[in-house]
Structure 1
Amino acid sequence: ITFDTIEGSPEERIIKMYKNVVAGLIKRGYPYQKSWTHWEHEDKLKDIFEDLEDLDNITRVFEKAKYGYKLDKEDIKIAKESYEKLMHFLR
């Protein structure tokens, strides 16, 4: 997995944000298997991280974007804030 530029529709941007977080986790050596769903991946990280609020937030909004649910302004705001915190941690 590689890092993507965050562009496109709101849904496309959220999907790319989530992908970038996963790429950052992989780069830092955290567990990942391609066969895991996004929720299985988060579950595997629960044993490593005390606080998964930001990962949970971006995963929840990613799921809405990926499966065609309408995103509202609050979803986008939450995802952006969580993305920024996670990427700061992963740098």
Structure 2
Amino acid sequence: MKSHATETILPANLRFHLLQPNGLYSPIPFVFVTERMARDIMQERQVILDAQAPSVRTRQEAVFKRFDPDLSVRAFENILGLFGVTRRR
């Protein structure tokens, strides 16, 4: 009988990343990212990284570094500020 104890399985429907033909996941580019979305994106990234082999993980991390959700959060907050909207934290 095969043991599945060492296998890590990704969720069937990732919300913020798309599988590419090269086997890596690319972030879906969002114009507006809320703080909650940024947390969810980072959690999903961790799940993806944990499921990958160490040889692929380094390449995947490089892909993730190209899109920083925190920058998008700040940009979103700045746009809201232009319209006089402030968010409670």
TM range (shorter): 0.3 to 0.5
- Structure of larger gyration radius: 2
- TM-score, length-normalised on structure 1? 0.32
> 1 or 2, which has the higher helix percentage?
1
